[in-house]
Amino acid sequence: MAKRVYFFGGGKAEGKGSQRNLLGGKGAGLAEMAGLGLPVPAGADPLLVSCRSGARKSMPGMMETVLNIGLTSQTIPGLIAKTKNERFVLDSYRRLIQMYSDVVMEKAAGVEPAEGKGVRQQLEAELKKVKEAKGYKSDADLTGADLRGLIEIYKAKVKEVLGKDFPDDAQEQLRGGITAVFQSWNGRRAVSYRRIEKIPDEWGTAVNVQAMVFGNMGERSATGVAFTRNPATGENVFYGEWLVNAQGEDVVAGIRTPNPLNETTRTASAGQLPSLEQAMPETYKELVAVRNRLEKYFRDMQDLEFTIEDGKLWMLQTRSGKRNGPAAVCMAVDMVGERLITRAEAVLRVTPAQLDELLHPILDPKAEQQAKTIAKGLPAGPGGATGQVVFTANDAVAQAQKGVKVILVREETNPEDVEGMRAATGILTARGGMTSHAALVARGWGKCCIVGASEIKVDVHAKTFTAGGVTIKEGEWVSLNGTKGVVYPGKLPMVGNEDNPSFTQFMKICDSVRALGVRANAESPADAAKARAFGAEGIGLFRTEHMFYGKGAEQPLFLLRKMICSGTAQERRKALGELFPFIKSDIKGTLEAMAGLPVTVRLLDPPLHEFVPNREDERQKLAQALGISLEGLAKRAEDLHESNPMMGHRGVRLGVTYPEISETWVRAIFEATAELIKEGKKALPEIMIPVTCDKKELDHQAEMVQLIHREVAAKFGMKKIPYLYGTMIEIPRAALKAGEMAQTAEFFSFGTNDLTQMTFGFSRDDIGSFVPDYLKAGLLPADPFQTLDQTAVGELIAMGIERGRKTRPKLKVGICGEHGGDPESVKFCHRVGMNYVSCSPYRVPIARLAAAQAVVEEKAKKGKK
C-alpha cells in the first residue's frame, strides 16, 4: 500500500511542495515551509491538534476544519497547569464543542436538522444569551467562570439536540475529525463549487492533522491572514489583516473588525486600530522576512495564514493567492521586471477570464451578492449593464436619444433590431444561443448581452416581462451581469475598469511569446480601426453585410432589397450597379484602415430572404420601386422562402446562380484596391468564397475573379492588382475535400460556426430548446458554439489542414468563427498549425494571450516527454 501519512515540523518534512496531488495544496505548502525551516506547527504527534482539509486546488471555505482536538476532562487540567491560563483553555474547549458538534457529530454523521435547528445555531444562541445576560459586547469579554458555565450548557444542549454525549476521548475526537474532513469533500457546498470550477470529483481531499498553536492565548497572541502583494490591485506591498487574542476562524467570520497588517496598507475602515507593524514590531519584521522568503521561493504572490502564540510566530498556510484580473496582469508584468519570473511564466499567470475583466466595466460584485437573481441566460456579451427596460428597437432609440440608459428586452432579436441594439446599454433575450444574432452583434460591439434566458416571459403588447415571479414594466430598472448571464431587478452600482497601465506591457509580453497570428472579424471601417487598436494583425473576416444594417444603411439596404426582389437578371444588374458605390466605399475604407495588413473580404453570404422587409411601409416602397403590386412582391418574397435557410441558397451558391452578385463584390474589391494603390497606400485584399463544398465551385468563381481582375487592372493601367484567392471551410464536405480545394484556394479560413452546425446537426438558432437539457444531463461538456468541439469538429479541421497543406505546403490557414476568441479553441488552433485566428475586436487581447499560453504549454508538454 502506498504511503498515506506524511510527517512535517521542526525544520523537516516527509513531503514536498511538488506533491500537491498527494498532499493537497495546504499540506504541500506546509511541508515546503517546514522544509525551508520556517516555523510550522508540527503534524500528527502533539497533544492538541487541528484537522484541516486541503485539496489539490484551493476551494476556500468549501470544506471543513476542526480545531482544538484533544481537549478532554483528562487533558484540560494538564493544559491549564502548563499554560497557567485557564480562560484560554476553557475558551478553546468551548470552541471545540461548538465546531466538533456541528462538523463531526451533525454534518458528517448525516443528521439533517430543520431550518435554524442545527446544533451550531442552538449553541450560538446559548452563547448569545450568556453575553446578553452579562451585557458583554465581544466573546473576548467572557471570563473563565462564564466559560465554565457555558461549557456545561453546551454539553447538555449537544446531548439534547443530537442525542449523544460530546466525546471525552482524545483518540475518538481525532478519528471523528479526520473522518469529517474527508467527508466534507462530498458536502453540498463543495460539490456545487466543483461543478462551477470544473474540479473533478475523483481528486478528493487530503487531511492535515497538525499541532494546535493558539492565537487566543492572551494579548501577546494573535492570528491573521496576509497576501504577499495586494490581491485587488497587484501592487507590490505586503497586505493583510489580524486580530489579537483570537483563533483564525474569527478573522474569516468577520465578528470583529480586523486590524491592518501595516501602515502602508491601512484603510479608512481600519480606523485607529493598531497595525501588527505597530503592535508587535519584532514579530512583524519576522513575518516580513517570511513573506520575502516565500515569494522568492514560490515565485508567485502567496496567501498566508499565521498565528502568534505568546509572542512566537507560527505559519499555518501558504498558497498561491487568488487575485482579480487587474492584479493578475499587474503582478505578472512586475514580476517579469523584477526578474522573479520569465516571460513564459508571466503568460501563464493571467487567465483569459482575468484579462477579460480589464476590457469591460462590471456590476459591483458586492452589490451583486446581495441582489436577487430573477433569471439566468447565456453570457453572450461580457461585462455589466444597468438600465431602464424597453421592449422595441424604436423605443430603445427614442429613449437613448433622450439620454436614458436602456436595456432592450426581446423574445429574440433580428437584423431590423440592430439600431435599437446599438442604442441600448445592454441586451436581454429569451431565445437564442451564444452565436445568435444578438450575441454576435453585441460581442462585436463589446456590449453587455444575455441571450437564451428562457425563464423570462416577454409580453410585447403589455410592455412587461415576467421572471422569477417578478413582473418588470417598461421604464423599470434591471441590471445584467453579461459575464455570468445573470439578471437582477433594480439598479445595481457599476464598477469601472479604468485604463490599466500594465495591460499594454502584458500584451507585449504575450506577443513576444506567441507564434499564432491574431486577426479580427470586422463589419465596417470603424470596426477595423478598433481592431487595429486592439492589436489585430489583419482582418480575418470582413462581412460587408453590415452596411445593410443600422444607421445610414437605409439607402444601401433599399438597393439590396431591390436587387433581391428583381424579376430579371437585367433588373438585378441595374440594382447592383446602384449598390456598387456603397460596397466599394465600404471595402475601400476597411482596406485603408488596415493599410499594410491583410483584409479577408467575404463575398455575400446570407440567404437573400433574410433581407426582404417585413414592415408594410417598406414593402410598399419596394413594390413601387420595382413597379409591381404588393401581391407580386409577396410572391417573390415567398419564392425566396426556405425550409432550412442555413443549408439553402446562400454563399457561393448565390455566386453560381446569380453570377452578377459576386461580380459586383469582386469588382468593388479590385477597384478599391487599385484606387488605394494609386493613392500610395498598401492594400492587401484576400477574396474569400463562402459556403463552398467542392473545388469546382472555387474554379467556377476563380474564372470570374480572374476576368474581373483583368478588366479592372486594364481600367487602372496596372499590370496586376495584388490579391489572394481562398475559401471558407465551413461545410464538412469542404474539410474532407480540402486536398482538392487547395489546388485552387491560396488560403483556407475555417468557419467554425457553420462547421459546428453541420457537424453536429445543431442549428445555432434553435439549440435553446435542447442544449440546456443536454448540459444539465452531462451529455455535452459545453455548448459547442462557445467552445470548439475538438474531437469531431476538431478532427475535420485537422484533416482539412493536413490535406490542404499536402496539396499546397504554404497554404495560409486561419479560423474566423466565433471560436477564434475562445481561449481553449485558440490553443487548439495553435496546436493544429494554423497561421492565425480571427475574432471580434474585443476578443483580440484574449486571443493574443491564449496564443502565447499555447506556446508555453506546448513547450512544457514537450519538456515532460
Q: Which positions lie near a second copy, rule CB under 8 A?
A: 642-649, 653, 656-657, 691, 693-694, 696-697, 700, 730-733, 736-737, 754, 757-763, 765-767, 769-770, 773-774, 777-780, 789, 791-793, 795-796
Looking at the Cβ atoms of 656 and 718, the one nearer to a second copy is: 656
Told to judge if 816 belongs to the known catalytic residues of this protein, a careful annotator would answer: yes
Report, in Å, the least distance between residue 758 CB and a second copy: 5
Q: Which is nearer to a second copy, 517 or 800 (CB)?
A: 800
Q: How far apart are CA 778 and CA 607, in angstroms?
A: 34
CA distance 826 to 838: 9
How far apart (Å, rounded) are the C-alpha atoms in residues 78 and 494? 57
Contacts of 839 (CB under 8 A, 6+ apart): 518, 519, 520, 521, 540, 818, 820, 821, 846, 847
Q: CA-CA distance, 112 to 612, in Å (whole number)?
A: 62
Nearer to a second copy, 584 or 700 (CB): 700
Residues 6+ apart with CB under 8 A from 35: 8, 11, 12, 13, 16, 17
Geometric angle at alpha carbon 278, from 272 and 282, rounded to 5°: 160
How many angstroms separate the CA atoms of 838 and 521, rounded?
6
68: left (phi over 0), alpha (psi -120 to 50) or beta: left
Q: How far is CA 229 from CA 53, 240, 323, 334, 843, in A?
A: 25, 9, 10, 11, 28
Task: Write 163-166 long-range contacts (CB < 8 A, 24+).
Answer: 164/105, 166/97, 166/100, 166/101, 166/105
CB of 700 to a second copy, least distance (A): 6
Give me the least distance between CB of 735 and a second copy, in Å please.
9
Which of residues 333 and 796 has its CB atom nearest to a second copy in the complex? 796
Q: How far is the CB of 780 from a second copy (least distance, A)?
A: 7
Residue of 693, 816, 829, 839 with catalytic role: 816
Q: How far apart are the first and last CA of the chain?
A: 28
Q: CB-wise, 148 or 653, nearer to a second copy?
A: 653
Spatial distance between the Cα atoms of 439 and 382, rounded to a whole number of angstroms: 10
The least distance separating a second copy from the CB of residue 795, rounded to whole angstroms, comes to 6
Minimum distance, C-beta of residue 649 to a second copy, in the bound complex (Å): 4
From the candidates 360, 437, 546, 830, give the one annotated as an active-site residue: 437
Q: List b or e across 548-568, with b for residues whose CB sees 16 or more CB atoms inside 10 angstroms.
A: bbbeebeebbbbbbbbbbbee
Query: What CA–CA distance (Å, rounded) separates 191 from 200?
Result: 10
Q: How far is the CB of 322 from a second copy (least distance, A)?
A: 33
On whether the CB atoms of residues 498 and 369 are closer than 8 A, the answer is: no
**In terms of C-beta density within 10 A (0-12 exposed, 13-18 middle, 19 or more buried), how is residue 2 classed?**
exposed
181 and 51 in contact (C-beta within 8 Å)?
yes
Of 482 and 606, which CB lies nearer to a second copy in the complex structure? 606
**Angle at alpha carbon of residue 830, lines to 825 and 832, rounded to 5°:** 95
Choice between 39 and 784, CB closer to a second copy: 784
Q: How far is the CB of 670 from a second copy (least distance, A)?
A: 23
Residues serving a catalytic function are 437, 816
